[in-house]
Structures are given as C-alpha cells and as structure tokens.
Chain A
Amino acid sequence: MSETSDTTIPVTVLTGYLGAGKTTLLNRILSENHGKKFAVVINEFGELGVDNDLVIDADEEVFEMNNGCICCTVRGDLVRILGGLMKRRGRFDGIIVETTGLANPAPVAQTFFMDEDVKRATRLDAIVTVVDAKNLLARLEDSKEAEEQIAFADVIVLNKMDLVTEDEAAEVERRIKAINPYAEIRRATKSDVPVDAVIGRDAFKLERILEREPDFLESDEHEHNDDVLSMSFEVERPIDPELFNAWIGGLLQSKGQDLLRTKGILHYQGEDRRFAFQAVHMIADGDFIGPWKEGDPRKSKIVFIGRNLNRPQLRRGFEGCVAG
C-alpha cells in the first residue's frame, strides 16, 4: 500500500490559522499556469472567494468512529465528497482540501487511514500548514490548534516574512522545529511559494519523511509539559515484530491522545525490506516498503510528535523491541 499505484488521486490538505494566508496560497496554486486541474474542497465560511471551476462546499463534519476509541475521529464530509469526486474522475488531476483556521488536522489525516473507499481512490499528498511569521509565537501560546497544525504539517509555509526581522524569523523557525523537525519550512511573502513546493510532494509517504535528516533539536531548555514536542529514537540491532507490535499497540492505546503523529522505519529481523509504520493518535498503519539500499546501515528509527512525551520511557520501550 505504500507502493501507491498511480491511479490514486493526490490530495493536498491546506491548514493554517485564520489570516495566515491560506486562501491566498490556494488562489496562487489555482491561478498558476501549470496545466493541472484541481477540485477544491472549501469551508462554507471561507474568508476569500476561490476562483476555480470545481469548488465543493464542506461543512467540516467530524464524527467519532463507533469503535470505542475516543480519538478515532473522521471527517465524514470528506469521505462523502472524495467518494463522490472519485466517481466523476478524469476531470481533474488533484484535490485540495482547505480547512478552517481552528480545525484540528487529526480527523482529516485519520480519514485517509480509516475509510476504505478513500484509501482505495486517493492518497494524502501532503499536509501544508501556512503560518504567519509575525503572529505565530503568540498563536502557539493561546491555541492548541495552532500547535497541532504544525505538528501535523509535512510542509510549512512561513508567511508574511516581510513583517519580521531575520532574528524574529529564526526564532519562529526554531519553535517550529522543536514541535516538528520533519516538516519542510518554506519562507514566503504573500504566500509566494512555487506551486511544486506544496503540490505533488508525496510528502506523507514515510520514506520521504524519514530520508530527510532533520537538524534535530535536543532542546534541554524548559518547555511546558503540554507543549507539543518531537522525539526520535534509533536502534542498530534488528527489531522483533511481535515485541514491537505489543509495545506500540499498548503505547498507542494508553497514550494515543497525546501522540499526534508517530512514524517509523523498522528493520525487522530476517527481513530484507523496510517496514514503514505510522500512526495518527491511536490509528496505526504499517506495511513493507522497498528493500534497504545497498550499503546503507540497516537501523530502525521511530519518531514521536506529541505532548507529555517521556523520553527515557519511550527509549527503553523501543530498545526493548530488539530481537533477542
């Protein structure tokens, strides 16, 4: 399933706080002469008009899956709309979903894990978060959603660069990287990023995410406990799949609400292919992807982005999965 067939239609999710420049970016993507046609799913209460042939009104309808898991929320409107769009096929090359400023991105991402029709017909290309360089730090102080939008991002457009000094920009980038070191940051003014920086990224694909070696910030400075942070762990020796499943299953069950995203590339004992694992809150998915590259060290790596992460406990847990 990670070897996505080309018949699936890529979906780009645009998130960002109110006034950050989401709709400006959307209109820029749509107006640029790239010869591509997009279907656009917007919220009824959008700030600006959107100029496109195929615009669908969405009512961000989130519901809990009936499986006893409280963070297992899905965007029912997307299931419906993507399902409908698939049946008209051939009239567009991609789908762009714009979320409201206050939206938590988890239900959107989970929709791509949970619904079999959505999974069959589309693939999540990237979650693109537009942030306002001038106001981001203040937003992070007062809004859980702003933090989550960064935690979920594959690409972050750091917008309104004309309003900040280089020092301020560097500080904002440092904050972003502390939350999510794996997102690619693109500086912009008036959302002026090249379209190919945000569309056709295949960024949600694990291979891509983990190939990027982030300049990881092992920040020892004081952070509030409920701040979103990321932690990554590596082991050299092969992993026992059963031990790993038992550990990660239990961890996601008990800490799933705090774990926004979990991603891993694993070297299973006796297996020549890499195992890719990812989860959004408690919902996990995993599959074998291509073989290890010749000469590359076979090591397993796992990344957590979330709140209240306990570094020693996570490290011990992961190291406990090594095959005996």
Chain B
Amino acid sequence: MSETANDADFLLSSRGRSEELGAWVMAVAFGRDGHGCAFSLGDGTLRLASTEDEWRRVEAHDGAALSLVPDAENGFLSGGDDGRFLRVTAAGEISELADFGTMKWVEHLASHPSGLRAASVGKVVHLFGRDGAKLKALVHPSTVGGVAFDAKGKRVAAGHYNGASVWFVNSKEDKPRVLPWKGSHQQVLFSPDGTHVVTTMQENALHGWRLTDQQDMRMSGYPAKVKSFSFTAKGRWLATAGADCVVLWPFFAGGPMGKPPVELAGGDSIVCTQVACHPQHEVVAAGFQDGLVLMAEIGSGKIVPVAAPGRGAVSALAWNPSGTRLAFGTETGFAGVVDLSKR
C-alpha cells in the first residue's frame, strides 16, 4: 500500500476496528438508545460490532438479509428474502415480528421513536405498533421501492411506480395522498420539517415534491443511479450519492428550486455510492465506488479521510445517534467502525 493509502486509513487504524465479513454488506445501523451497532449481510447473518470488543455473528435469515434499521427504541429491525421480519436486540437476541412466507421479500423497513414500525413486502406496507401488533396494511399500485416516516411519526411515505404515496398513520380511512411523477420511484425521505418528500428513481435522478403546493422538483444530471441520500440534521441540505462527488441540494432560501447544488469531495471521477449526514452538525460522511470513506464539512468543504480505497464499493454507511461513531461496509464484505469522540 502506498503512503497516501496508509494516511487515508489513519482514523480506521488508530481509532477503529475492521473485519472481513465475507459477504455483501447490505446495511449498517446503530441502536437509537446509543447501544449496539449491527451490519446485515448478503448471507443472511448479522454482525454485532463495536470498536472495543470482538464482533458477534448472529444467524438471522435463511437467504439474504435485505434491510436493517434501528428499531423504535433500541435494538434493530431486520428483513430478509426468507419473508421474515425480525427484531434483534443489541445483545443479539432474535424475536420474529412477522413471517410473510417464502418468496415474499421483506425489502424495506422504517421505524419511529414513538414505537411505529413499517415493513414493505411487495406492494404492501405493513404497519406495526410498539407492542408488535399489526396495525394496518397499506396497499400500493406496484411494488414499493422504499418506505419512510416523517419526523413526527404522523405520516408514512412509500415510493412506487409513477410516484409516491403519503399516508396518515392514524387516519380512520386509509386513503393516500398520491404524489404523481412518471417513472419508477424507489427510496423515499421526508425533509426533517415535513414539508418535502424526495425519492430516488430508476433513472439517474431524484424527484421531490413540495407538499404545500405540490410543486415538482427534478434533481437530475447524475452520472449513476442515486442509491443513497440523507438530509442534514436541520434539513438545510440534502446530500446525495450518484455523482463523482457528494452533491448537496440546498433546502433553504427558496431552494432547491432554481438553485444549483453544492459539490464536495470530488475530483477523482470515482462515483459516490453512500452518504450519511451527521446527526447534529453540517458534516456529511461519504463512501465511494473504490472503497474510500471520508467526512466532509459542508461549510468549509474540509475533507477528512476515514478509510482508504481498495476494499470494494461502499454499500452501507451510518452514524450513531450522538454522531461520535461512524460505521461502513462494502460490497466485498469489508466492514469498519470508527470512534470519533473527543479523547
């Protein structure tokens, strides 16, 4: 390895821990209560990771683990292509919330601190309550590509063909507000203030809607599919992957309509594959096609490398709730957790 590569690995080697896990890292999540970090893998297992101790393997799914998010209060939710929707504690204990049957992929998950959980299986988003009871099943016109709650847990949105649907979780009559736009919509996000919904698309583009007047926002021009996006804590910026830099759309001062995005950490024509915004500061972590992981401060554009390139395209990236730890994983099975707290 060259000197620059070693330099780029400084944080990982001095303040982190990494392992070769031998399977595609599908997702990584930290518990909402600050305890536990889990990686989910293409071989159906999870790894409970930390910067201090040995990592623990948990057998979760017969097949691939497709989705992983923090559960409402603590621990994790995991969905697999075996049709099982699981809760996993930070200690690795598994309980089954639902079994949708073989051939039914549990593809997308979301949770909210109020206790709500959502799991999408085909065209249906299943909502579960705090006690694990099934609340309702929301049916969409085509397979759901992503699901998200708003910050208050009042609404849930799903991306699908020709638009996104926004449902009120507690409404008696389940009728969605459909946000139309031609094409296949996948992952979906509410802006933190709840005024915008944004989706990733099959095309190399994002689409957004301003909910107050249903104004459309087209965010296109990406050289690759946008597979990851994340709002900064206060919702001023939407950071996105899919270009050879981190693209940030301004959601203030009338933006993003008519405003050009800011580009960070570009210049070496390697596509950014994952982004994750810091939970408090205007800092974004980014992972690239060549395996490079870095942090960028949005205001100053200052870049700090976290892990060197050369270990597979970054496929998962997450911060812990206090923003002191960053975890990442790659398509070829390399995974790392770095402790960034003051010492």
Contacts and interface: CB of A to CB of B under 8 A. Distances in A.
Contact of A76 (B23, B182, B202, B205): B202
B81 A88 contact: yes
Nearest to B26: A87
B143 interface: yes
Contact of A88 (B63, B181, B182): B63
A89 interface: yes
Nearest to A55: B103
Contacts of B224: 116
Interface in B117-142: 122-123, 142
Given A88-B24, A117-B225, A79 B202 contact: yes
Interface residues of A, number: 23
Contacts of A65: 183, 202-203
A87 B203 contact: no
Contacts of A67: 203
Contacts of A319: none
Contacts of A59: 122-123, 142-143
Nearest to A44: B103
A61 B143 contact: yes
A66 interface: yes
A192 interface: no
Interface string B186-203: 000000000000000111
B64 interface: yes
B143 A80 contact: yes
B104 interface: yes
B28 to A, nearest CB: 14
A64 B161 CA distance: 9
A207 interface: no
B143 A76 contact: yes
Given A74-B202, A84-B81, A87-B42, A66 B24 contact: no
A57 B143 contact: no
A57 B64 contact: no
A72 B99 CA distance: 37
Contacts of B184: 63, 74, 76, 79
Contacts of A251: none
A115 interface: yes
Contacts of A117: 225
B42 A63 contact: no
Interface residues of B, number: 33
Interface in B202-220: 202-203, 205
Contacts of B143: 59, 61, 76-77, 80
A170 interface: no
Contacts of B51: none
B103 A57 contact: yes
Interface of chain A: mostly helix, strand, loop or mixed: mixed
A61 B103 contact: no
B183 A63 contact: yes
Interface in B75-94: 81
A108 to B, nearest CB: 15
Interface in B8-28: 23-24, 26
B162 interface: yes
Contacts of B161: 61, 63, 76
A88 B43 contact: yes
B319 interface: no
A66 B183 contact: yes
A37 to B, nearest CB: 13
Contacts of A77: 143
B64 A63 contact: no
Contacts of B205: 66
A117 B331 CA distance: 13
Interface string B308-343: 000000000000000000000001000000000000
A66 B201 contact: yes
Interface in A51-88: 54-57, 59, 61, 63-67, 74, 76-77, 79-80, 84, 87-88
B159 to A, nearest CB: 11
Nearest to A115: B202
Contacts of A63: 142, 161-162, 183-184, 202
A7 to B, nearest CB: 12
B215 to A, nearest CB: 18
**Which 5 pairs show the lowest CB-CB distances between chains A and B?**
A66-B183, A88-B64, A87-B42, A57-B103, A87-B24
10 contacts: A59-B123, A61-B142, A63-B202, A64-B183, A66-B182, A79-B202, A84-B107, A87-B24, A87-B42, A115-B202
Interface of B: 23-24, 26, 42-44, 63-64, 66, 81, 102-105, 107, 122-123, 142-143, 145, 161-162, 181-184, 201-203, 205, 224-225, 331
Given A57-B122, A79-B202, A116-B225, 11 more contacts: A56-B81, A57-B104, A59-B122, A65-B203, A76-B143, A79-B184, A80-B145, A84-B105, A88-B42, A88-B81, A115-B202
